[in-house]
A and B are shown apart, each in its own frame.
Chain A
Amino acid sequence: MKTETIKTLRAFLIELAVYAVLVIAYFFLVLHFLGNGLRQLEVNHRYTYAGVSILLIIGQAVLLENVTTFLLRLLRGRSE
């Protein structure tokens, strides 16, 4: 039981570290390129901006959920 907890904790910490690297890359690459385009959209086409915002956040949620689930499977070697 204790070994299992340590294994889970270790897997989680590794997952967190890998995830942090991915997220930092995401900040500087994706958001940097999206910034000005979204700003223009927000100023000129408010309804399109509103729709794109929802699609972006749901798309990111699905993507990150898959990334974290994949990392957990990879690190623990079993389905989460």
Chain B
Amino acid sequence: MLFPISGAHISPIYLAVIGFLIGILGGFFGVGGSFIAGPALRAVGLDWNFAVGTDLAHIVGKSVVAAKRHRALGNVDLKLGLIMAFGTIGGAEVGAQLIQMLKRAGNVNLVVSIVSIAVYVSISSFMIWESRKTLASKKPLPPASAKGAKQDRSAFQHVTRAIQRLKLAPIIHLPVSGVRISLWIILVVAFVGGLFSGFLGGGAGYIRMPSMVYVLGIPTHLAVGTDLFEIIISASYGTFSHAVKGNVDILIALVMHTGAAIGAQIGAISTQYFAGPKIRLAFVPLPLIGAAIVIYTLFTGHKL
């Protein structure tokens, strides 16, 4: 099928299946799934700038579905999500400007590929260390049901507590997440997430979800739901910004989203059956798959 905006020929079935798989992962892990979607779009010949912008548009739709489902499960901290949206939008704009600079310099594909590989491998390495250490510790895991599943713990908790103790006014109280923390730390975490979102595409949940757990100390289930809510706002902004710059093929995004809509609901419902450290450990292979696809694409030209 020809998609006239980008001029790409892509099977709609391929797009819907990719969307479905990413929808499940997104609903379960609270990530946009760009570490899969970006390389998957690149693999069928779409330029990185189109892959980044189009993926953001698809993520908006998928996050609406998944966040609605998570809200029903009590997994969304609206106050935190709204605060983070400000930092994310600032970061996303800086990231999108970097993409424009690289586009003008003519080396956008190479630079984004290398940065994405480095980021994906680093996140996976850290999370496998932390979640395995947490699971191996003597303390019992909270029960994976209803309220108990939201009581979380982490091997990185001592660092998280030290960050929470920083007295940088104003201090924000987040009653839903059970956290008191400086507004500036929330904004910095959101800005960094936004920067990666604008630069590598997607909602940058692969950065933000772990940051919310390890830096802000948000329980994993709430981090997943709140991240999805925040992604709706930040990815909408990112989509607008990229669309204005000619980087969005909305027809591709609409087709991908038909699969993602159903996958996101399945993923969101599944979170209630798993404890936080298990969700984080299961998260580990995802960025590595993204990295493997980027490496393959980089060395072979393109197309899987």
Contacts and interface: CB of A to CB of B under 8 A. Distances in A.
* Bound together: yes
Interface of A: 15-16, 19, 23, 26-27, 31, 34-36, 38-39, 42, 46-47, 49-54, 56-58, 60-62, 64-65, 68
B68 interface: yes
Interface of A is mostly: helix
A58 B253 CA distance: 11
Pairs of residues from A and B, 10 with the lowest C-beta to C-beta distance, nearest first: A50-B243, A64-B261, A61-B61, A61-B64, A53-B250, A57-B61, A39-B4, A23-B258, A50-B240, A65-B65
B261 A34 contact: no
Main secondary structure of the interface of B (DSSP, over half): helix
A26 B251 contact: no
A31 B16 CA distance: 14
B94 interface: no
Nearest to B258: A23
Given A31-B251, A46-B246, A50-B239, A68 B261 contact: yes
B58 A57 contact: yes
A31 B65 contact: no
B201 to A, nearest CB: 15
A26 B255 CA distance: 9
Given A57-B58, A57-B60, A68-B262, A31 B4 contact: no
Contact of A57 (B4, B68, B241, B253): B253
